[in-house]
Structure 1
Amino acid sequence: MDLSLARLRMLRELHRRGTITAAAAGLHYTASAVSQQLAQLERDVGTRLFERRGRRVQLTDLGIVLAEHAEEILAAVERATQALEEAGGSVTAKITAGVWASVASGLLPDALTTLAAAHPGILVRTTELAPESTAAAVLDGTLDLSFVLDYSNYPMTWDRGLERAVIGVERIHAAVPAGAVPAASVTLAELSEHPWIIAPARSHFGHAARLAFQSAGLRPRIDHELEEQATAMAMVAAGLGVTLVSDLGLALRPPGVDIVALGDALTRTVSLAYRTNSAGRAALLLVVEAIRTAAANNGLGTDIRTGPTMHRDSDPPTET
């Protein structure tokens, strides 16, 4: 019997998530592609692994047995990979990481340059994903580790198969057109007369922002929904509204935008997620440490500093 690791991974995800559609979404495939591969797995083993229940596919008893063994097989492959990486005199490995714009620009250049100098055998490859998708991509084996976010008013739910290394805590600031807010700090209520440029509600950032509005008893006018902080600030520079921006996002600030301390307490914790089975993987931990050091060097601590912060258009863009 020749078992494909990729097909076993699909079987495992079906067992975890319950439907082919959910498994396909977690693995970043189409549902039809997953169905075809699972059908081939059934032919490979020569026995029924699935049965139809209306429009749903359910694992048979033998399917459940194989899915449980798939967990063990995939974990064993991960342990074998780790052992091979550490068998030589120096750590050699390829690490795949999930990122998004602000962490890629604010942390990765310093971290990867330092890592390459100290550990040239570790090769890091990055993939840009929405922050909401990165943890699932780690869990299903697509990535080795990824950046993830927890907002102070909207913490994420952690899967028991994931470990987390905290990188730092970001403050959330108001980004306004130059000269629009003369004070050193501003509240969401004081900005309520302005149109807003905010991430969509389906995103963690957008949902956290809407929860903050709700807590302040506000129903702001949202004119533009944009994922990226850099794009939102470009709209602010054009005078089209105000937005929220994180510490790492400050490096992306264009001319024509003032950054003003937000009176409403809103922060987010930046962490790296990796599989529990990888917790002892030396190469992965070296990558985590390099990123954590880069974050500290760029002023991103694990405790929020007190006191207002304000960057006017006349100030150079600053990472804090």
Structure 2
Amino acid sequence: MDLSLARLRMLRELHRRGTITATANALHYTASAVSQQLAQLERDVGTRLFERRGRRLQLTDLGVLLAEHAEEILAAVERATQALEEAGESVTAKLTAGVWASVASGLLPDALTTLARTHPGILVRTKELAPETTAAAVRDGALDLSFVLDYSNYPTTWDRDLRRTVIAVERLHAAVPADAVAVAGVTLADLAEHPWILAPARSHFGHAVRLAFQSAGLAPRIDHEVEEQATAMAMVAAGLGVTLVSDLGLALRPPGVDILPLGDTLTRTVSLAYRTNTARRTALLIVVDAIRTAAAAKGLAVDPTSPTPQVGAPDLRLG
């Protein structure tokens, strides 16, 4: 019997999640691809692993048995991979990291350039995902590590199967059309009458900002909902409204946007998440250290009250 690890991973996720659609979403496949691979796994095994219950695909007793063994098999493969990496004279590994735009552009280029020089045997591939989904992708084995976010007024519920290393604490700043606000710093109340460009409420960023408005007793007029900070700032440059931007996001600022310090205490913690059972994996720790070093080199402080200047965070308005 020749069992595919990829198919065993799909079986494990179906056992955990209960539906083909949820399994496909977790592993970033189409539902039809998952269905085809699970059907092939059933043929490989030579016995029924699934049965239809209406529109749902349910595991048979033998399917559950194999899914339980799949947990052990996949964990053993991960341990064996880690042992082989550590046994060599130099560390050799392939890791997949979950990223989003501001960390991909602001931290990874420097970190991976340094890593290629100091540890050429470590290859890091990246997948851009919504910040809200990266931790789950690590837990499910689709990623080896990922960037994750917590906001000072909206902390993320943490999974006990994951560990994290704090990379930086970013301040949030107001981004306004050039020359639209003639002061050196603002509060949310100062900008409440402006049209706003924000991430949707379903996102951590969008929800955290809306909570900050609510706490201040404000109800902003949100004219545009966009996912990325770079997109929001492009719309600010066009005079369509104002937004908030993080320290790392400032690197994406286009011409025509002024950045103002925000008087409201609103920060976000950028961390790297990885599975607890890989927390001692040498290659992973080397990658985490390279990213932390890149963040420190850009002036990103782990303590937001530190006098160390935050990357791109000016004391005065940027013209």
**TM-score, normalised via structure 1 length:** 0.92
Partner of 2:318: 313
Displacement, 1:151? 1.4
Matches within 5 A, 1:1-320: 1-305=1-305, 309-314=314-319
Residues 277/306 of structure 1: CA separation in 2 closer, same or farther (3 Å cut):
closer
Kindly provide the CA deviation profile for residues 11-55 of structure 1, in whole angstroms up to 9, marking residues without a partner as x: 111122222211111111122221222222222223332233332
Residue 132 of structure 1: SS of its match in structure 2? Answer: coil
Q: Which amino acid letter does the alignment assign opposite residue 6 of structure 1?
A: A
2:155 is aligned with what amino acid?
P
8 Å Cα contact 1:258-1:311 kept in structure 2: no
Identity %: 83
Instruction: Give the direction of change, closer, same or farther, for the CA distance of 1:173–1:269 in structure 2 (3 Å limit).
Output: same
What's the offset of the Cα at 1:89? 0.9
Assess if the C-alpha contact under 8 Å between 1:175 and 1:260 holds in 2. Answer: yes
Cα displacement string for residues 81-103 of structure 1 (whole angstroms, at most 9, x for unaligned residues): 11122221111112221211111
- Give the letter for the 2:318 counterpart: D
Q: Secondary structure at the match of 2:219?
A: coil
Which stretch shifts more, 206-215 or 98-107? 206-215
Moved over 3 A (4+): 306-311
Query: Do the aligned residues in 2 keep the contact of 1:259 with 1:310 (CA within 8 Å)?
Result: no
The answer to whether the Cα contact below 8 Å between 1:85 and 1:93 also exists between their aligned partners in 2 is yes
| Worse-superposed segment, 298-307 or 261-270 | 298-307
The answer as to whether partners of 1:174 and 1:260 remain within 8 angstroms in 2 is yes
Q: Could you say what the CA RMSD is over the residues aligned between the two structures, in angstroms?
A: 1.9
- Amino acid in structure 1 at the alignment position of 2:3: L
Q: What is the Cα deviation at residue 236 of structure 1? A: 1.0
Structure 2 runs not aligned, ≥5 long: 308-312
Secondary structure, in 3 states, of the residue corresponding to 2:132? helix
Runs (5+) with no aligned partner, structure 1: 315-320
- How many residues matched? 314
What's the counterpart of residue 317 of structure 1? none
Q: For structure 1, which segment, 299-308 or 273-282, has the greater mean C-alpha deviation from structure 2 after superposition?
A: 299-308
Q: Which moved more, 1:258-267 or 1:290-299?
A: 258-267
3-state secondary structure, aligned to 1:7: helix
* Cα 1:208/1:191, change in 2 over 3 Å: same
Cα-to-partner distance string for 1:248-295 (whole Å, 9 max, x where unaligned) = 111111222121122222111111111222212111110000101111
